[in-house]
Amino acid sequence: MIAEDDEKQAELVRRYLEREGHSVTLVRDGRAAIEAVRHHTPDLLVLDGMMPKADGLDVLRVLRAERYELPVLMLTARAGEDDLLLGLDLGADDYMTKPYSPRELMARVRTLLRRGAHAAAVAPVPVPDDPVLRVGALAVDPERHEVSVDGVRVECTPGEFRILVAMAAEPGRVFTRQRLLEELHGFARYIGDRTVDVHIMNLRKKIEPVPRRPELLLTVFGVGYKLADRTRTRGDRAQA
């Protein structure tokens, strides 16, 4: 699905997508995009940042709040870093600014679609009695798509959730940015490391008591990030 109010831009993207064999639906404003996704969830949404009735960021807020997990590629003239960070924070899977290379756009589309196809093709595995991943006060439930800290529900974007699932499954393991990009997109050639840093920064705001002094989601300088369970260490200090 393409949500774009500029007719020439929408037609250009549509032609490239159809050339690669995709069936394309066009909508011209944000409200139409929300309703179209509700009625027929597409495999991918190419979302303009500035549209009438509801802009791209508003569309993202609504779709992620309603738990739609379709890949979203924002395609916008907003080129500032703050716009990029806000788009990713709200749940965009990728972000391109205009003007753009149509070939690069198609490469990013293929990346996002591969990731979605891979997730759908994964065979089900036996579920243990307690499928919830627990690291200290953090609990991640892959089945219910829920995250909580000390029993308090935390709302995460799809990208943030994928990172937490991967890291909570192997607490203590150091994940490179490249490895986390693969968790996010399946293939990371066209996605920058900054995307991972933004997700980590936002996750710390949600799961850490003091985000500037993280105790759970730690930086391993020069390598990447890891989840560390400090509960036992704190308890040992208290006993001492």
**Per residue in 122-152, pLDDT tens?**
444 444 455 889 998 899 998 888 899 999 9
Cα 29 from Cα 48, distance rounded (Å): 9
Chain centroid, CA 216 distance in Å: 20
| C-beta separation of 49 from 3 below 8 A | no
Q: For the ranges 44-53, 60-69, 182-191, which has the lowest average pLDDT? A: 182-191
* Surface-to-core class of residue 190, CB atoms within 10 Å of its CB (0-12 exposed, 13-18 middle, 19+ buried): middle
Per-residue confidence (pLDDT) for residue 193, from 0 to 100? 59
pTM, to two decimals: 0.58
Per-residue confidence (pLDDT) for residue 81, from 0 to 100? 65
Cα 35 from Cα 27, distance rounded (Å): 10
Task: Evaluate if residue 235 carries a pLDDT over 50.
Answer: no
Per-residue confidence (pLDDT) for residue 64, from 0 to 100? 86
Question: What mean pLDDT value characterizes the chain?
Answer: 81
Domains, the chain, with CATH or none: 2-121 (3.40.50.2300), 133-239 (1.10.10.10)
Per-residue confidence (pLDDT) for residue 15, from 0 to 100? 92
